[in-house]
Structure 1
């Protein structure tokens, strides 16, 4: 049995500006984790937003845990709330905006797993 405790993991600021903790990713494990996707715990601090970016090969799903915000995908924008899952197709230009005074927290699932070379920041 394999269990990871988020309280024991490290967070970092990703290229898109999000604060991330990679919960499950094959590159971080010292055994053969047999999954083709990755899961990250993501935080967008109060009144911040990520920068527009795209994953060229991977699709993503954001599952909103707490807070609320505005999801932007390929020029379309919709408000997001806890309990919602957002599908982001490969190649779509995306960013998420925290519209509140508290953290926006979500899980980011990338399939196939997230790779730095797959991510393109849009300037």
Structure 2
């Protein structure tokens, strides 16, 4: 497979987010682009969706593009919306609850990569047991 250094959103690997409440789109990962130290996705969670609490063995961040919600990280709640960045340390329990008025779309970066491969392999069931 030829490595892609520029990936239009329409060409991203796409699937159903865990819980079935939205979609993931993998833009950059080792398989598609050769990125060894991070991966980059754009996810959309449907309005009103309550995320499931889970954790990863990697650091990651979100950058909110549109919509509003509540991020829970390490037992604390944070109201989030457009143009806000959010960080979750490796091993920290977290979840997102989306507000009732509109979908929540955000960029997510995993460093090092890994959780996006679980999404590719297991789709909606990727993090059900975390």
TM band (smaller chain): 0.7 to 0.9
CA–CA distance in 2 between the matches of 1:19 and 1:92? Answer: 23
Equivalence for 2:18: 15
Structure 1 residue 16, shift from structure 2 partner: 5.2
**In the alignment, which residue of structure 2 is the partner of 1:62?**
62
CA RMSD of the aligned region, Å?
2.3
**For the Cα contact (< 8 Å) 1:16–1:52, is it kept in 2?**
no
Structure 1: where are the runs of 5+ without partners? Answer: none
| Alpha-carbon distance in 2 for matches of 1:58, 1:49 | 22
Larger strand share, 1 or 2: 1
State the distance in 2 between where 1:9 and 1:113 align: 16
TM superposition shift of 1:34: 3.9
Name the one with the larger helix percent.
Answer: 2
Between Structure 1 and Structure 2, how many residues are aligned? 118
- 1:1-123 to structure 2, matched below 5 A, reads 2-15=5-18, 17=20, 18-27=22-31, 29=32, 33-55=34-56, 57-115=57-115, 116=118, 121=128
Q: By how many angstroms is 1:49 displaced? A: 2.3
- Output one character per residue of 1:55-86: Cα deviation in whole Å (capped at 9) or x when no partner: 0x200100000001000012100100111100
Please tell me whether the aligned partners of residues 69 and 104 of structure 2 are also in contact (alpha carbons under 8 angstroms).
yes
The gaps in structure 2 that reach 5 residues or longer are: 119-125
TM-score (structure 2 length as normaliser): 0.80
